[in-house]
Chain A
Amino acid sequence: MYQGDFVRRLETMGGERRHNPLRVDFGLLILLLTLCIAGLFVLYSASEQNMAYIRRQALIMAAGFFGLLVVAQFPVRFWERWAFVLYSGALLSLLAVLLFGVEAKGATRWLDLGFTRFQPSEITKIAVPMMVSAYLSNRQIPPSPKHVAGALLVVLVPVMAIFNQPDLGTAILVFASGFFVLFLAGLKKRYLVGTSLSALAAAPILWLYVLRDYQKQRVLTLLSPEDDKFGAGWNIIQSTTAIGSGGLTGKGWTQGTQSQLNFLPESHTDFIIAVLAEEFGLIGVITLCVLYLLIIGRCMIIALGAQSQFGRLMAGSISLTFFIYIFVNMCMVSGLLPVVGVPLPLISHGGTAILTLFFGFGIVMAISSEPRRIGTGL
Chain B
Amino acid sequence: MLQDSAISDPRREHRVFSVRLMVAGIFVSALTSIILFRYFDLQVTQHQDYIANSDNNRIHIRPIAPPRGLIFDSRGQVLADNRPTYTLNIIADRARNLDALILQLQSLITISSRDLARFRKRIQRGRTFEAIPLKHNLTEQERAVLAVNGHLLSGAEVSAQLTRFYPQEELFAHVIGYVGRINEQESQNINLTDYQGTDFIGKVGLEKFYEKQLLGSLGAEQVETNARGRVTRVLDRKNPVTGDNLTLFIDSHLQAIAQEALQGERGALVAIDINSGGILSMVSTPSYNPNPFVSGISQRAYDKLLKSTDQPLFNRALRGQYPPGSTVKPLFGLIGLQHKVFDKDYAIDDPGYFYMEGIERPWRDHNSEFGGHGKGVDLAAAIIESCDVFFYTIGIQAGIDLLSKESARFSLGQITGVDLPGEQDGIMPSRQWKTTYRNQEWFDGDTINVSIGQGFMLTTPLQLAVMTARIATRGVPIKPKLVKAINGINIAPEVDGEAIQIDQQHWDYIHRAMVDVVHSSNGTAKGISGDLSYKIAGKTGTAQVISINETERYDSSKIDKRKWDHALFVAFAPAEDPKIALALIVENGEHGSLTAAPIARKVIDAYMANLDSENQSIANTSPLTAATGN
Contacts and interface: CB of A to CB of B under 8 A. Distances in A.
Contacts of B38: 330-331, 334, 336
Given A261-B232, A313-B17, A378-B14, A183 B24 contact: yes
A141 interface: yes
Interface stretch (A100-108, A241-249, A347-355): A241-249
A109 to B, nearest CB: 27
A186 B14 contact: no
Nearest to A317: B24
Contacts of B302: none
Contact of B42 (A244, A257, A286): A244
Contacts of A331: 34-35, 38
Interface string B307-333: 000000000000000000000000000
A244 B53 contact: yes
B9 A289 contact: no
B20 A262 contact: no
A28 interface: no
B246 to A, nearest CB: 44
Contacts of A186: 16-17, 20
Interface residues of A, number: 56
A316 interface: yes
Nearest to B5: A138
Interface in B47-84: 47, 49-51, 53-55, 57-58
A289 B57 contact: no
B28 interface: yes
Contacts of B42: 240, 243-244, 277, 334
B492 interface: no
Interface in B1-49: 4-5, 7-22, 24-25, 28, 31-32, 34-36, 38-40, 42-44, 46-47, 49
A263 B58 contact: yes
A139 interface: yes
Contact of B226 (A245, A261, A296): A261
Contacts of B24: 180, 183-184, 300, 316, 320
Contacts of B559: none
Given A138-B4, A184-B20, A244 B9 contact: no
Interface in B215-240: 224-228, 232
Contacts of B28: 293, 296, 320, 323
Contacts of B20: 183-186, 316
A151 to B, nearest CB: 13
A309 B17 contact: yes
A24 B11 CA distance: 26
Nearest to B18: A7
Contacts of B18: 3, 7, 304
A352 to B, nearest CB: 25
Interface of A: 3-4, 6-7, 137-142, 180, 183-186, 237-238, 240-248, 257-258, 261-263, 277, 281-282, 285-286, 289, 293, 296, 300, 303-304, 309, 312-313, 316, 320, 323, 327, 330-331, 334, 336, 375-376, 378
9 contacts: A139-B5, A184-B17, A184-B20, A184-B24, A241-B53, A243-B50, A281-B43, A282-B39, A334-B42
The 10 closest A-B pairs by CB, nearest first: A244-B50, A245-B54, A261-B226, A186-B16, A262-B227, A244-B42, A282-B43, A245-B50, A241-B53, A7-B18
